[in-house]
Chains A and B, each alone.
Chain A
């Protein structure tokens, strides 16, 4: 941990980074500090960390120009391995949101999850239309925030929420259908491994992804099927 952050509260300690909350130029700010992983070669560690900071910053900026919501980038500090960005205080990960929903006895849950799936599918398509490959699409890397900050938050109404994509450390810019297909496949696996009450979530996401744009849709979906078949039916060789 950087000496200068000692007085700050650790919001979360992840596998690769520690998150701190602070006030930067009068705004609530999240500091994401990627710490050294001792198991890997120091050269490799430096390269990976720099790459990921760069990827994250680059994709956030690109998302801004493409009108995709992400936390706003404030500052990048390579030497201290940190990124400073907008702190979204009122937020919930999609994972927690779904977990929360499944605890509620309500018939409209399925409806809400359908709306959410559509929102996710469209956002991912928007990323891909702009050649942004996220690289780590999971339900923990998507946040829901209220559209209108002043209204009282109702966490059960997806209509009143915005989707914010986060954690672009593994992201990169590429126009190939292969990378987009792998992105979708990674998400499918992540959705499959989370407990989701409405089992067709990924199907709905994929449908929204397809319907959002006509650009290259057929190739993308064919490629996605090819990638997932490769994963599931890989033969065993020597």
Chain B
């Protein structure tokens, strides 16, 4: 049995989770929300995390009902993410590891999402669509690596949505993507937008600059709801298309959607239609697990720890750039 605590703070969410093998004992989170029209910057986000992390740690320990002595390994997000916010969590994790005299383990954020998704949905060997504010990747497992088959060649899908929300001055509470999703439900008139798929890769920057440049003109003919609707329909169709390509390439019949954008119900619906047409199965989670959280870091760290992976205290640094396919997946034998 392994009890692990996980600290996550790679972007504007601060999360602490505690797991006992596959059982979730605590899943606590605070989100740094910026005013409409503004994105979150590293320095302010780090300040938010450092102001909240002690209280959140206490909350997680209370919720789990365990004492620090029972913990086997302290996990934290090593990367990828914003430097300053990552650093806040790494420092607290290192301090806890020293105080409690426990081993420390740095986890790849993307791998955390994948393992959390597999745990919650029980998908065995899915093609993974990882979609968030910082990442857009199509991933499949092959020989101890999570290989990236397709990805964005410029900005992430969530970044495209967030920045479009800023153009429309939509609220960032609870998240810009959520507010776009709600607005899109009321949209009716479809606007043809640039559609950019290159092999198994996608590009979103062209769509975003098209919308940014023409927004005043577009708003004369379309409502903000129509634009949200058209944007979602277009970029999600691109994601579903490259997912299907990757599935065909790998001969896979399972799809798992993870990451913050993964809780968008329209994306899940479109993916579901694609899957039913090819006799495949779709797996998705809700906002408790899709959105960045501490449990995914604790769980992925526990898997690696159980499989014998260790990290020296000196190596427990952070890195802003850390690719999914850089991780040696010690815990899978298939």
Interface segment, one of A80-88, A209-217, A229-237: A229-237
Q: Which segment, of B116-124, B219-227, B244-252, B293-301, faces chain A?
A: B244-252
Give the interface segment out of A58-66, A143-151, A153-161, A186-194.
A186-194
Q: Is B288 an interface residue (CB 8 A)?
A: no
| Given A44-B192, A238-B40, A230 and B201 contact (CB-CB distance below 8 Å) | no
Within 8 A of A (CB), among B135-183: 135, 147, 149-156, 159, 162
Does B330 touch A at the CB level, under 8 Å? Answer: no
- In the bound complex, residues from chain A placing their C-beta under 8 Å from that of B135 are 236
**CB contact under 8 A between A189 and B277, given known A236-B135, A238-B133:** no
Partner of B81, one of A137, A193, A236: A236
Give min CB distance, A179 to chain B, whole Å.
9
**B153 near A44: Cβ-Cβ < 8 Å:** no
- Residues of chain B within 8 A (CB-CB) of A140 are 249
A138–B147 Cα distance when bound, in Å, is: 17
Q: Mark A21-56, 1 if CB is under 8 A from B, else 0.
A: 000000000000000011111011001100000000
Q: Which of chain B's residues have a CB closer than 8 A to the CB of A15?
A: 241, 244-245, 247-248, 278
Residues in B neighbouring A227, C-beta threshold 8 A: 153
Residues of B within 8 A of A230 (CB): 153-154
A189–B151 Cα distance when bound, in Å, is 10
A235 to B322, CA, bound (A): 9
Query: Contact at B82–A236, with CB atoms within 8 Å?
Result: yes
A235 touches B321 (CB 8 A): yes
Say which size band chain A's interface belongs to.
35 or more
A44/B198 in contact, CB under 8 A: no
Interface residues of B, CB < 8 Å — how many? 49
A44-B190 contact in complex given A227-B153, A230-B153, A237-B134, C-beta closer than 8 Å: yes
Could you tell me if B320 and A135 are in contact, using CB atoms closer than 8 angstroms?
no
Q: Given the complex, which residues of A lie within 8 Å of B321, measured CB to CB?
A: 233-236
Tell me which residues from 198 to 238 in chain A have a Cβ below 8 Å from any Cβ of chain B. 227, 230-238
Write out the residue numbers on chain A whose beta carbons fall within 8 Å of the beta carbon of B159. Answer: 237-238
How far is it, in angstroms, between the C-alpha of A134 and the C-alpha of B178 when the chains are bound? 36
8 A Cβ contacts from A101-132 to B: none
A41-B237, A189-B201 in contact; A238/B162 too (CB < 8 A)?
A: yes
Q: Which residue of A44, A189, A236 contacts B320 across the interface (Cβ within 8 Å)?
A: A236
| Cβ–Cβ < 8 Å partners of B190 in chain A | 41, 43-44
Nearest-Cβ distance from residue A100 to partner chain B, whole angstroms: 17
B95-139 residues with Cβ-Cβ distance < 8 A to A are 133-135
A14 within 8 A of B: yes
User: Would you list 15 pairs from A and B whose C-beta atoms are within 8 A, ordered by A residue?
Assistant: A38-B277, A39-B270, A136-B199, A170-B199, A189-B150, A193-B149, A193-B249, A231-B151, A234-B154, A234-B321, A235-B320, A236-B10, A236-B321, A238-B39, A238-B159
